[in-house]
A and B are shown apart, each in its own frame.
Chain A
Amino acid sequence: EIVLTQSPGTLSLSPGERATLSCRASQSVRSYLAWYQQKPGQAPRLLIHDASTRATGIPARFSGSGSGTDFTLTISSLEPEDFAVYYCQQRSVWPPLFGGGTKVEIK
């Protein structure tokens, strides 16, 4: 199975700052990587699929990049509603495991 390692575990930033989240795969997943956002008490929401394609309705401040084993989710300028936990998931092979998550918290 492919293990996804997300870093950092927690990112402390202020509104308006840029957030850069990393997801590293134990072997290549090509571009078959998705990112999700989860706020407390809510279900996850798909943000990015195929490493860099924003899902329907996702603001342009969210962008994804990478291929192979190294991926990045960037939030260009944090809005108050962006403070949440972010998960990556590989969609290349079974099982489609999630990474451990990165919490973006208000500094």
Chain B
Amino acid sequence: EVQLVESGGGLVKPGGSLRLSCAASGFTFSDYSMNWVRQAPGKGLEWLSSISSRNLNIHYADSVKGRFTISRDNAKNSVYLQMSSLRAEDTAIYYCARDTGDYLSNGMDVWGQGTTVTVSS
């Protein structure tokens, strides 16, 4: 079964850091670009970051550029999101999602269940 499972969410104080992980299974992970997308409470979807299959191309939304870092380990079938200088407005459900192919393909066809990040003092 094709599956993505996120972990690492939790409660963190403003200015703190957190590392999210996404474990993939059921497909050849190294063939696909991977993404992080978040959803603040009661709000819409926000694309955050993408990393191509071989780590050659990385992109970030302006809202997280310089604070968040995406990475992947194809040997471990995992993608990560290192988040630092966290703010209250980063409170959201964070989803890991697979592109249909590599590097801005035509959609995101596999999604994890999400992990919740709460930034509060």
Interface readout for B24-64 with A: 1 if CB under 8 Å, 0 if not? 00000000000001000000111100100000000101100
Q: How far does the alpha carbon of A91 sit from the alpha carbon of B105 in the complex, in Å?
A: 7
Given contacts A43-B95, A43-B113, A43-B114, contact A98 B46 (CB under 8 A): yes
Taking the nearest CB of chain A, how far is it from the CB of B14, in angstroms? Answer: 25
Interface of A is mostly: loop
Q: Which residue of A lies closest to B60 (CB)?
A: A95
Could you tell me the distance in whole angstroms from the C-beta of B23 to the nearest C-beta in chain A? 15
Decide yes or no whether A62 CB sits under 8 A from chain B: no
A22-79 residues at the B interface, CB under 8 angstroms:
32, 34, 36, 38, 43-46, 49-50, 53, 55-56
Measured between beta carbons, the chain B residues less than 8 angstroms from A85 are: 44
Judged by a CB distance under 8 angstroms, whether A3 is at the interface is: no
User: Which B residues touch A91, using CB under 8 A?
Assistant: 104-107
Q: Does A101 contact B95, Cβ atoms closer than 8 Å?
A: no
Q: Which of under 10, 10 to 19, 20 to 34, or 35 or more describes the interface residues of B?
A: 20 to 34
Q: With A and B bound together, what is the CA distance between A35 and B50 in angstroms?
A: 18
Q: Does B83 contact A (CB under 8 A)?
A: no
Interface size of A by CB at 8 A reads 26
CB of B50 within 8 A of CB of A96, answer yes
Q: Assess the A98–B107 pair: CB atoms within 8 A.
A: no
Across the interface, do A100 and B104 meet the contact criterion of CB distance under 8 Å? no
Give the residues in chain A near B59, CB-CB below 8 Å: 94-95
- B104 touches which one: A50, A56, A87, A96 (CB < 8 A)? A96
Residues of B at the A interface (CB closer than 8 Å) are: 37, 44-47, 50, 59, 61-62, 95, 97, 100, 104-109, 111-114
In the assembled complex, 27 residue pairs joining A and B whose CB atoms fall closer than 8 Å, in A order, are A34-B107, A34-B108, A38-B45, A43-B95, A43-B114, A44-B37, A44-B45, A44-B108, A44-B111, A46-B108, A46-B109, A55-B107, A56-B109, A85-B44, A87-B44, A87-B45, A91-B104, A91-B107, A93-B104, A94-B59, A95-B61, A96-B50, A98-B45, A98-B46, A99-B44, A100-B44, A101-B45
* Apart from the given pairs A44-B111, A49-B107, A49-B109, 18 other A-B contacts in the complex at a CB distance below 8 Å: A34-B107, A34-B108, A38-B45, A43-B95, A43-B113, A44-B95, A45-B111, A49-B100, A50-B106, A55-B107, A55-B109, A56-B109, A85-B44, A89-B107, A89-B108, A95-B59, A96-B50, A99-B44
